[in-house]
Amino acid sequence: MDLSSLNPAQSRAVMAVEGPILVLAGAGSGKTRVLTHRIASLIETHDIFPSNILAITFTNKAANEMRERIEHLIGPVSQQMWVGTFHAICVRILRRDGDRIGFGNDFVIYDTADQKALLKVCYKELGIDDKRQPLKSTQYKISNAKNDMLTPEGYEKEFGGDFTERDFIKLYKRYQEKIKQNQAMDFDDLLLNTLLLFKEAPDVLAGYQQRFRYIHVDEYQDTNRAQYLLIKALAGKHHNLFVVGDGDQSIYKWRGADIRNIREFELDYPGAQLIKLEQNYRSTQYILDLANSVIKQNPNRKDKVLWTDRGKGQKAKYYKAYDERDEANFVVRQIKRLVREEGYRYKDFAILYRTNAQSRAFEDLLIVEQVAYKVVGGLKFYERKEIKDILAYLKLVVNPQDDVSFQRVINEPKRSIGGKSIEKLQMYAQERGLSLLEACGEPEAMALLSGKARQGAEAFYQIIGALKAKVDTAFVSTIFDDLMAQTGLITLYEQERTIEADARIDNIYEFKSVIDAFEQRNEAPNLRDFLAETTLRSDQDSIEDTDDSILLMTIHASKGLEFPVVFLVGLEENLFPSFRAADDPEALEEERRLCYVGITRAENMLVISHAMNRTQYGRYEARFPSVFLTEMDTACIDGIDPAGVEMPHKEKPKQSYFSIGKSSVAASKLVPKPMKPTEAAQTGSVENIDFVYKPGAKVMHKVFGSGMIISVNGSILTIAFDNKGIKKLDADIAPLKPIG
């Protein structure tokens, strides 16, 4: 093992083999790197079998990187090593041994959208009004209960006395019954059921304890209770547990992460070695000092030393924007300049923001400017309708019990099966303990449906049946091709001849290439594993190294990553820190840690900005600069007034703020149409400004180029394109931008 690329403290961590070890260190000090090196060293120097090693990472991207690096070092035997996220590891365990707690290895995994669909059914059946008990909050509460290891019964015991909890308890119970009936698990169930398995089947646990002699966990500060218990169980025999983390980067408290797990590691694992790393290899000194000036405002933390020999570097740049469009304009102008003058590539830049909705202003401009960009975790590929439809078909092929998937696609494409028919099927199925798909195989049930619906249901049953027969022998790609041929999904979209349908077809082909890649990567590719992998895909996975694109993402999604240049935008009160932190000191501390994470992603250059006015939830209003700006050490920032940050002003910016070269966004042609804050707005995924298009206005289309609007009918625009003739497009979906 070559240790020359590690500093003494890092080498110590790599060479400490037995017993519990905690590496506690600030951002960019090489924690993840040490973890990877240690695994390689176990195999290379200490002759540990790869199959005795478990490594838990925070994202699938990190897992793949680790696997690749280790494969590079030791070759294909690394395949026997288990590397993955908590969820992926649990899936693997449950597929092998879930039968011991009543799960076949065919169970499907429900993502948040599936969860929502299932909850809707529960609301309906129980007659509970979602205005009184909002669906989103139920979803959140169920997840929290599960992270705290509370089953519906456990929850009832604890909180049943409180009448305001009554509806929630009913919903949680019904939800859990149904999910079990469907042979499904949501993300939290994966952890919970693994723990349950270990409790019910101690021999199974003993087997894994024996197998995983060396256990590793990255980003330990963000583990929740269930994850903590899982590690504790697995490490229960050999106690060779190697965890790395940084209390200052704990940013998932709202999802149940418990910072005590890291603080009390030495109590939980007596005799633990503590190793601290102090040299930072990522950033220059100004950036580190700036990060430190913010995080040191948090009470109850141990101050850490972090130094770098990369030199002082450049001070952070500061920009006070007039509004969010001016902010975007500034950022894009800077990026273009740096590419032009300093030899940066687009992929060297990351724009980090607090909420997803903020990406919109940047996207607007980047499209007009024709600069390649990627929104990480924004509009997720796997959340698009056509992809979810295909996934639902495939899930149903694997698991005929999956009623949620059945309802999603039974009438997609149209098979004349409406709500009434489904209700009839449901009644029939319920009485006999069948799934909806199974009911379609019963002549008696079919007799209940009208002629057309019956034909549709029978055809559907046949399609799924024929595919199911191939599941164990055929390639995933063959099953996919068959599915397309039998359902005619692509053909139908082709007949639509709209841009949206074309985009959907593109996405379906893109999906096919996902399958191809999966088959190339795996020795024995099968549909079950493929579905597990796609459902567990995390936000960071959409980043591809080869892309030369600017990356846009939330600070949460940037954890563990690094970029040569970082733009940290929207440093405003009630945005960053979030309005939720207004009168909650603990929430404010978490926001501050998030700010620390954001700053420490930067290698060479950091640019911070805020806007004096912003449209949020449809209202254009004056904004106050973030408290974090006032905490930052001004000696590390260029262009900021050391006397403090000024309050908002309302003067108009110079015209140049709005224009970059020829293709400027003409602010005057756009009439903002206020939108109500929706449920989605709270999760940050809503686009908060919408534009009214008028006849006569010029627009730019991503594919067709420039054109002029001839008429407007609702959201349907008729546009005469300069080179592509006249087309009708839906303003809500088409990749269109107004141009001046």
Ligand X SMILES: Nc1ncnc2c1ncn2[C@@H]1O[C@H](COP(=O)(O)OP(=O)(O)OP(=O)(O)O)[C@@H](O)[C@H]1O
CB under 5 to 8 A by kind: which of ligand X, Mg ion, none does 196 bind? none
Annotated ligand binding at 160? The verdict is no
Interface with Mg ion, residue 560, by CB under 5 A: yes
Closest CB to Mg ion among residues 61, 213: 61
Closest CB to Mg ion among residues 33, 388: 33
Q: Identify whether 249 is a catalytic site residue.
A: yes
Tell me if 618 sits within 8 A of 688, measured CB to CB.
yes
Interface with ligand X, residue 281, by CB under 6 A: yes
Interface with ligand X, residue 30, by CB under 6 A: yes
Q: Which candidate, 39, 221, 183, places its Cα nearest to that of 101?
A: 183
Minimum distance between the CB of residue 23 and ligand X, rounded to whole angstroms?
Answer: 9
Q: Identify whether 219 is a catalytic site residue.
A: yes
Tokens of 60: 């699938």
Choice among 32, 36, 227, 284 that is catalytic: 32
Minimum distance between the CB of residue 11 and ligand X, rounded to whole angstroms?
Answer: 9
Interface with ligand X, residue 32, by CB under 6 A: yes
Annotated ligand binding at 313? The verdict is no
CB under 5 to 8 A by kind: which of ligand X, Mg ion, none does 458 bind? none
What is the distance between the alpha carbons of residues 141 and 133, in angstroms, rounded to a whole number? 11
Closest CB to Mg ion among residues 562, 730: 562
Q: How many helices (H) and strands (E) does the chain have?
A: 29, 24
Tell me if 182 sits within 8 A of 401, measured CB to CB.
yes
Interface residue with ligand X among 114, 188, 246, 539 (CB under 6 A) is: 246
Q: Identify whether 500 is a catalytic site residue.
A: no
- Candidate ranges 221-229, 298-306, 356-364, 557-565; the one touching Mg ion (CB under 5 A): 557-565
SS (H, E, C) 88-152: HHHHHHHHHHHHHHCCCCCCEEECHHHHHHHHHHHHHHHCCCCCCCCHHHHHHHHHHHHHCCCCH
Q: In 402-526, which ranges are continuous DSSP H helix?
A: 403-409, 419-432, 436-440, 443-446, 451-468, 476-487, 489-496, 499-521
Please report, in angstroms and rounded to a whole number, the separation of the first and last CA atoms in the chain.
61
| Region for 572 from its dihedrals, namely left if φ exceeds 0, alpha if ψ lies in -120 to 50, beta otherwise | beta
Minimum distance between the CB of residue 560 and Mg ion, rounded to whole angstroms?
Answer: 4
Annotated ligand binding at 26? The verdict is yes
* Residue that has been written with the tokens 């820190």 in this structure: 577
CB under 5 to 8 A by kind: which of ligand X, Mg ion, none does 6 bind? ligand X
Query: Binding string, 561-580, against ligand X, x = CB under 6 A?
Result: -x------------------
Residues 545-564 that bind ligand X (CB under 6 A): 560, 562
CB under 5 to 8 A by kind: which of Mg ion, ligand X, none does 78 bind? none
Closest CB to Mg ion among residues 356, 558: 558
Dmax of the chain from CA atoms? 81
Interface residue with ligand X among 67, 87, 174, 282 (CB under 6 A) is: 282
Choice among 10, 31, 268, 363 that is catalytic: 31
- Candidate ranges 22-30, 232-240, 511-519, 620-628; the one touching ligand X (CB under 6 A): 22-30
Interface residue with ligand X among 2, 5, 312, 478 (CB under 6 A) is: 5
Q: Strand, helix or coil at 495?
A: helix
- Candidate ranges 97-105, 348-356, 558-566, 697-705; the one touching Mg ion (CB under 5 A): 558-566
DSSP string computed for 262-302: HHTHHHHSTT-EEEEE-B-SSS-HHHHHHHHHHHTTSSS--
Choice among 97, 186, 219, 386 that is catalytic: 219
Q: Identify whether 218 is a catalytic site residue.
A: yes
Interface residue with ligand X among 14, 21, 28, 665 (CB under 6 A) is: 28
What is the distance between the alpha carbons of residues 176 and 690, in angstroms, rounded to a whole number? 39
Q: In 497-626, which ranges are continuous DSSP H helix?
A: 499-521, 527-535, 585-599
Binding site for ligand X (CB under 6 A): 5-7, 10, 25, 27-33, 246, 249, 281-282, 560, 562
